[in-house]
């Protein structure tokens, strides 16, 4: 399946959704239902294990000029606060090599598809956390930080839509890399 800049903007979104659907489904399975405090605690630790190295990887790359004032949603600091509030240790740092950038920044755009898309799932997980008695002050600040970033998700798509030439296969490969790295963190497979 070859998919380049000739795609109309909505087609880029749907292409990424379809190209990552299986990896997204498998990540959701690895996260699980978060029905009790031990599963929520494990979720926060695994999410930190995923987000901290990926956010560091993103931070090592200069923001493309086309982004203007847009910046990715960063929640590592909120996860650190949540770990502390929950009395949990930070998990060991995982190695994230990341994909090649690509001529039009496809690697970065693919990773960001996975990270920015988390704002939608955070709304559901936030309701589950509230059902466990957790909120911004006691272990769920990262959820508020991502759930309120839905505007950033829309901004991400504006960037994706406005990019004149993208190899969408490379964007999708990078997004799948992020989903798989996240799943490995949730499954405890840090290799």
pLDDT digits (tens, 9 = 90+) for 169-189: 999 999 999 999 999 999 986
- Lowest-confidence range among 133-137, 148-152, 182-186? 148-152
Instruction: Tell me the mean pLDDT in the region 52-76.
Output: 90
Average pLDDT value for the chain: 89
Residue 40 corresponds to which tokens in the numbers above? 């929520």
Q: Which helix (H) or strand (E) holds 41?
A: helix 37-59
What is the reported pLDDT for 100?
87
**How much is the pTM?**
0.91
Whole-Å CA distances, 125 to 27, 100, 120, 142, 161: 14, 31, 9, 11, 28
pLDDT at 148 over 80: no
**pLDDT class for 61, splitting at 50, 70, 90?**
confident
Rounded to an integer, the average pLDDT of 33-51 is 96
Closest CA to 26 of 188, 187, 189: 187
**Structural domain spans, the chain:** 36-187
Q: For the domain covering 36-187, report its CATH number.
A: 1.20.910.10
Decide if 111 contacts 54 (C-beta within 8 A).
Answer: yes
Each residue's pLDDT tens digit, 66-125: 888 899 999 999 999 999 999 999 998 789 999 988 778 899 999 999 999 988 888 889
Under 8 Å between Cβ of 103 and 156: no
Q: How many whole angstroms separate alpha carbon 191 and alpha carbon 86?
A: 27
Query: What is residue 190's predicted lDDT score, i.e. its pLDDT?
Result: 52
At 67 the pLDDT is: 85
């Amino acid at each position: 399946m070859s998919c380049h800049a000739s795609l109309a903007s909505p087609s880029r979104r749907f292409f990424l959704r379809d190209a990552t659907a299986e990896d997204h489904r498998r990540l959701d399975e690895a996260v699980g239902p978060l029905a009790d405090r031990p599963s929520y605690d494990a979720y926060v630790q695994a999410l930190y294990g995923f987000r901290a190295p990926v956010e560091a990887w993103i931070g090592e790359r200069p923001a493309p000029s086309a982004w203007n004032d847009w910046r990715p949603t960063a929640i590592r600091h909120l996860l650190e606060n949540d770990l502390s509030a929950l009395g949990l240790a930070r998990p060991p740092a995982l190695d994230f090599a990341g994909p090649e950038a690509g001529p039009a920044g496809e690697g970065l755009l693919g990773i960001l598809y996975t990270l920015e898309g988390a704002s939608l799932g955070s709304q559901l997980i936030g309701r589950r956390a509230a059902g466990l008695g957790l909120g911004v002050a006691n272990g769920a600040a990262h959820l508020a930080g991502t759930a309120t970033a839905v505007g950033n998700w829309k901004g991400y798509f504006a960037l994706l839509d406005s990019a004149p030439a993208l190899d969408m296969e490379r964007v999708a490969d990078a997004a799948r890399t992020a989903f798989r790295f996240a799943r490995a963190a949730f499954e405890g497979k840090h290799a």
